[in-house]
Structure 1
Amino acid sequence: MSYPDLHLVIGGERIAGGGRRTSAVVNPATGEPIADLPLADPADLDRALDTAARGFRSWRESTPQQRAAVLNGAARLLRERADDLARIATLEQGKTLAEAKVEVAMNAALFEFYAGEAFRLYGRTLVRPAGQRSTVSHEPVGPVAAFAPWNFPLGNPGRKLGAPIAAGCSVILKAAEETPASALGVLQCLLDAGLPPDVAQAVFGVPDEVSRHLLASPVIRKLSFTGSTTVGRHLARLAAEDMKRTTMELGGHGPVLVFDDADIDRALDTMAASKYRNAGQVCVSPTRFIVHEAVFARFRDGFAERAGGIVVGDGLDPATGMGPMANARRPEAMERLIADATARGARLCTGGERIGNRGYFYRPTVLADVPLDATVMNEEPFGPIALINPYRDEEAMIAEANRLPYGLAAYAWTQDAQRQRRVSRAIESGMVGINTTMIGGADSPFGGVKWSGHGAEDGPEGVAACLVTKAVHEG
């Protein structure tokens, strides 16, 4: 299939051309441009703000039935268009077609869950003396500025759009300029399902210009951002100038505790597949493998063997197990991090090099015995690098898991029920997987603590983040 035409969407109108600046969209499997994306100018952003304000005034009065009909209809359209949407995501982001199809399915399930949540925005009546009445209600916060990154080009826009729509808010979505067609495809499903055109807009542009313009406007009452901690801090400062509410899903450095009583083969099969999913470009990717010394050698060698067996290639090829990295910056970052680690004494067990001279392919990599002062042990690699180190006991393993200021996702492998409870309590993380990597779901909150952000997406918490609380007292 051909790659679709690109545009902004404001008030349901597709906007392109007009002398606007453009940005090239590149296929990471080839390194070649596949389209030019029009970038919003200040007038476009002002128009989007005016439209969002108008859309909020009407959509906040919509009924649960109207909101649910749109979200359920969009879920149906996502499933009908799954093959085309997945292929677009693979073309512009690089992930395997199978992974992209999972993203579509997750989006559809999330929209359906949020459709149900539209009926569950409950308040309460407080007990008061006769003749008095006090109620607590939850109302939509207002127009939302939502910024989505490129690593999940379908799933992230779905998260950013679904919760505000269920809550009765309008949205201005700025998805990643690297992966615009996927985001536009998700928005189109909502519009085709009956979402009023004023309720959701899509703009693209120079990120700092767009964020400063939108967040300086009093129209925007909430910021939802997924991305790096560095950018999140910058946006939080901008939002604080006008006391805008924020939901921040930021970086991570996922620790994996592997105890000596773990089912090692199952842990290896599960964690290796998870580590190299989307070429490691996943905020909850398992990264630091904190392994009890009694099983360290077996785990290290088994992980390296599995990493070395992964077929790397174009995500559209059914034989591919891992696609390219998303852009030219990522292989360069891998080279820098691995060179630093090996110079400090880390052992390169497998990988550590680019593949070919076309596209952004990088070999799945395993580093062992990595010193704690290596950059990769302290900065999120966001790539196909597994770090495996030995530890003597549970106390030392938990200490390493909590050493960094990140706290998005953590994992542990042990068959001891008491240890499972101890570890789940002790680890400082927004999400913990015990003998599993399945830490998300439409009904489950997704978010972190410490430098990994605050607030949550998905689940009832995702909709609640788009609401404000009002108490009314009648005498």
Structure 2
Amino acid sequence: MPLLHIAGRWRAGRHERRHTVFDPSCGQPIGELGLANGADIDEALAAAESGFAAWRQVPAFKRGEALLAAARRLQQRGEEIATLLTREQGKPLAEARSEIAGTVQVIQWYAEESRRSYGRIIPPRVPGSALQVLREPVGPCAAFSPWNFPLMLSSRKIAGALAAGCSVVLKAAEETPASVAAMVDCFLASGLPDGALQLLYGVPEEVSRRLLGSPIIRKLSFTGSVPVGRELARLAADQLQRVTLELGGHAPVLVFADANLDAAVVQLAGAKFRNAGQICAAPTRFLVERSVHDAFLERMAAACEQLRLGPGLAPGSTLGPLASARRQAAMQPLVDDALANGARLVVGGTRPEGQGFFYRPTLLADVPTQARAMGTEPFGPLVLTRPFDTEAEAIAVANGTRMGLAAYLYTDSASRQARLVPALRTGMVAINHASVSSPEAPFGGVGDSGYGSECGVEGLDAYLQPKFVHQFPAFDGTPPRISP
């Protein structure tokens, strides 16, 4: 199946290189993907420019209707697309269905919010004049999305851009092409003009340099690693393109003695091991008050042992494979280094025998801050715990990395919540639960986790440019007096 969509039609890429797509549950190839060459990318840019000229003229109400139609179409094709997603990415089918349900909600949110992209009227200083602020789409956008949540993370960018009246060129992850192409087809079936939405797969460096080197692109949205985000920001600077970066995290969890441990472990284990831990906002560094540390460990170990490792399409599987051999290979060195530095292995710590990119759910206790895993996002099924004695100690460890995406705080003390929320250097904080993602709220971080937000009103604002209009009545020859 041709999986690139350029200038209103599906077709294969013309690059001399091709990409092999693997099934992570067995490590076997399931298809080959044609990649975009320079001419394909240039054609996508030209189409995005003409598509923007057409799409920006569509009233916001009609744009919202088109997005709602795309959401309905995605719901109708949900089971088919969930199966594609599980085969390509590895997550259990139940999680793939959940990702599609969340993606539908994101598209619906932007569809509704597009109707509320209001400007404003400012009281004038001169009688008879009018001061207005209009909000206009910034222009064609380049979007780069990763493989861990390919539908959800792509939809935040596509729906945000289209809701604002922008066209978008999506460069999606080569590891998960068929599921994203199926979702893009749901958008296209809603009646978008040719060029409003392009889908590319290609050699990442070639695509990014060509897209961001073009004056046609006026905004970049990227979700991925810190090094790639830095490079894309440098490329975008040459054309003064707007930039939104979500560059991952290494989320601390602060668990105090007054927390409900049973509820905390159920929530945190679910959040940690969802998608085999391959989540930018996943709870990872578990800092537990010393008096309840052992009780927490006992409960978390039991939660790890209840997980059923297996292919995503196998009935009963609750923990699928990692997405690639590279991700699997990255786990063992982190575990070995932590153990060499004095950490204690409680559960897991090895890959199972057999095919596929699996790694056992792993729980490490008493992990020292100098262990590499405490400063490097593991992006896998790895729980790192260490006890603390004071709030100050917990905050110091929690803020001990340059990343600042999300943090999780478990305590029933309102005064402690009030003290610690502003002390945590993160873009998002969840209190007594393990979710920081909602279509109505901004998703983004600080520090090396990037800048800017997706979703919420902030997510739509990122694609809109204010224009100030100062209007006077017909000139009668008398210069207006305007206060400085």
What displacement does 1:266 show? 0.7
What displacement does 1:131 show? 2.6
1:275 and 2:267 aligned: no
Q: Percent identity?
A: 49
User: Which residue number corresponds to residue 24 of structure 2?
Assistant: 28
What displacement does 1:451 show? 0.8
Instruction: In structure 1, give the amino acid aligned to 2:7.
Output: G
Instruction: In structure 1, give the amino acid aligned to 2:72.
Output: R
Tell me if structure 2 keeps the 8 A contact 1:6–1:180: no
* Higher alpha-carbon Rg: 2
Match of 2:106 among 110, 127, 132: 110
Q: Counterparts in 2 of 1:137-152, with a 5 A limit?
A: 137-152=134-149
User: Which residue number corresponds to residue 392 of structure 1?
Assistant: 389
User: Which residue number corresponds to residue 454 of structure 1?
Assistant: 451
In the superposition, the TM-score normalised over structure 1's length comes to 0.98
Instruction: In structure 1, give the amino acid aligned to 2:179.
Output: S
Instruction: In structure 1, give the amino acid aligned to 2:203.
Output: V
Say which is worse superposed, 279-288 or 154-163, in terms of deviation.
154-163
Q: Counterparts in 2 of 1:199-278, with a 5 A limit?
A: 199-278=196-275
For residues 334 and 466 of structure 2, what CA distance do their matches in structure 1 show?
Answer: 46
For residues 390 and 179 of structure 1, what CA distance do their matches in structure 2 show?
Answer: 39
Cα distance change on mapping 1:64 and 1:347 into 2, 3 Å: same
Q: Counterparts in 2 of 1:56-455, with a 5 A limit?
A: 56-128=52-124, 129-455=126-452
For residues 66 and 48 of structure 1, what CA distance do their matches in structure 2 show?
Answer: 24
Instruction: In structure 1, give the amino acid aligned to 2:116.
Output: R
What displacement does 1:20 show? 4.1
What displacement does 1:127 show? 1.1
What displacement does 1:7 show? 2.0
* Secondary structure of the structure 2 residue equivalent to 1:276: helix
* Secondary structure of the structure 1 residue equivalent to 2:116: coil
* Secondary structure of the structure 1 residue equivalent to 2:249: coil
Q: 1:379-426: per-residue Cα shift (whole Å, max 9, x none)?
A: 100010000000001121112111211110100111112212222222
Say which is worse superposed, 275-284 or 13-22, in terms of deviation.
13-22
For residues 123 and 56 of structure 1, what CA distance do their matches in structure 2 show?
Answer: 20
Instruction: In structure 2, give the amino acid aligned to 1:209.
Output: E
What displacement does 1:100 show? 0.7
For residues 408 and 196 of structure 1, what CA distance do their matches in structure 2 show?
Answer: 36
* Secondary structure of the structure 2 residue equivalent to 1:66: helix
What displacement does 1:438 show? 2.1
Tell me if structure 2 keeps the 8 A contact 1:20–1:40: no
* Secondary structure of the structure 2 residue equivalent to 1:382: coil
Tell me if structure 1 keeps the 8 A contact 2:145–2:222: yes
For residues 465 and 60 of structure 2, what CA distance do their matches in structure 1 show?
Answer: 17
Q: 1:175-229: per-residue Cα shift (whole Å, max 9, x none)?
A: 1000011111111001111122310000111101100110000000000000011
Cα distance change on mapping 1:69 and 1:20 into 2, 3 Å: farther
Q: 1:296-342: per-residue Cα shift (whole Å, max 9, x none)?
A: 11111221221122100001112001100000001110011111111
Q: 1:15-59: per-residue Cα shift (whole Å, max 9, x none)?
A: 116574210000000101101001000000000000000001111
Cα distance change on mapping 1:363 and 1:137 into 2, 3 Å: same
For residues 122 and 10 of structure 2, what CA distance do their matches in structure 1 show?
Answer: 48
5+ long unaligned stretches in structure 2: 473-484
For residues 325 and 350 of structure 2, what CA distance do their matches in structure 1 show?
Answer: 14
Instruction: In structure 2, give the amino acid aligned to 1:13.
Output: R
What displacement does 1:64 show? 1.4
For residues 405 and 14 of structure 2, what CA distance do their matches in structure 1 show?
Answer: 42
What displacement does 1:6 show? 4.0
Cα distance change on mapping 1:19 and 1:282 into 2, 3 Å: closer
Tell me if structure 2 keeps the 8 A contact 1:369–1:390: yes
For residues 53 and 315 of structure 2, what CA distance do their matches in structure 1 show?
Answer: 47
Instruction: In structure 2, give the amino acid aligned to 1:8.
Output: L
Cα distance change on mapping 1:19 and 1:56 into 2, 3 Å: closer
5+ long unaligned stretches in structure 1: none
In the superposition, the TM-score normalised over structure 2's length comes to 0.96
User: Which residue number corresponds to residue 481 of structure 2?
Assistant: none
What displacement does 1:474 show? 2.3
Q: How many residue pairs end up in the alignment?
A: 471
Q: Give the root-mean-square deviation of aligned CA atoms.
A: 1.1
Say which is worse superposed, 167-176 or 402-411, in terms of deviation.
402-411
Tell me if structure 1 keeps the 8 A contact 2:171–2:200: yes
Q: 1:115-143: per-residue Cα shift (whole Å, max 9, x none)?
A: 11111111111111213222111110110
